[in-house]
Amino acid sequence: MRCLHFAVAGAMLAPALASAQLKPDPRWEFGLRSGVLIGSGKPANDLLFNGIKATYRLDAGSGVGISIDRLSFDFERPQSVLGIEQDKSLVPKDIDAKAKATLISVFYERRYATAGSPWSWNWNAGLGFASPSVGRASGPAAGGGSFDVGTDAGREYVPSVGLGARYSLSNGLHFEAGLNLNRHIANWKVTDAVSGRSARVRDYTTTGLSLGLGYRF
């Protein structure tokens, strides 16, 4: 009788044990990336960035996530926004203002893959926000005098859309490249402490290129 009990119990536990041995579908992905945002020169030509992102897979083809990118760039010739010309006979090189920002974004991603291929591609859409910190720019003004320009960049909201391609390696690792179009909803206030002039820098667009390495587990 005891043998019969063991046999019945074994038959009942076998499906559960088999299920427990199945490897769960990986849901989380973490990655590091670096890249550049290309602008028109107002306020910046190129914004270099390094960042991290985390994605939670909702199913085999879609996911949601968050990214945090640290940007470093130059506010190109902020005095020109105020109609002030730099005296290049005294300082030939353009005077720019150094700037930094942390861009935090949430996004939705849709991925497409072919069975048996290490390649996949995706489209994504997201919304980010940043509060740029901009240094001062000072120097000689054409026609005499000087300028000392400060910028209050406030907060930017950055909706974006993008495309990406991925090559999967073994052990959950993958390389990824991305292309994004970003609209920076901005309202920077630029003021010259010498003349008292002020002006605004409004919304601008950047195109982003990035390369990264990720891990899925």
pLDDT in tens, 97-108: 999 999 999 999
Q: What is the DSSP string of 12-26?
A: HHHHHHHHHHSPPPP
Mean pLDDT, the chain, rounded, equals: 90
Q: What is the largest CA-CA distance in the chain?
A: 108
Q: What is the CATH number of the domain that holds 185?
A: 2.40.160.20
Beta strands in the chain (DSSP E): 28-38, 46-57, 62-75, 97-113, 119-130, 133-134, 137-140, 146-152, 156-168, 173-184, 188-192, 198-201, 204-216
**Can you tell me the mean pLDDT for 147-152?**
98
In a domain, 17, yes or no: no
Domain span at residue 128 reads: 26-216
**Can you tell me the mean pLDDT for 146-152?**
98
CA quadruple 66, 72, 73, 79: dihedral, nearest 10: 100
Q: How many CB atoms neighbour CB 87 within 10 A?
A: 16
The domain total for the chain is: 1
In a domain, 13, yes or no: no
In a domain, 7, yes or no: no
Give the integer Cα–Cα distance in Å for 116 and 98: 48
In a domain, 35, yes or no: yes
Give the integer Cα–Cα distance in Å for 149 and 133: 14
For the whole model, what pTM was predicted?
0.84
Closest CA to 99 of 77, 129, 84, 81: 77
Please state whether beta strands 28-38 and 198-201 pair in parallel, antiparallel, or not at all (unpaired): unpaired
Q: For 153-195, what is each residue's pLDDT tens digit? A: 999 999 999 999 999 998 789 999 999 999 999 999 999 999 9
What tokens does 146 get?
Answer: 């000087």
In a domain, 134, yes or no: yes
Please give the pLDDT value at position 25: 56
**Can you tell me the mean pLDDT for 101-118?**
95
Confidence of residue 5 (pLDDT cuts 50, 70, 90): very low
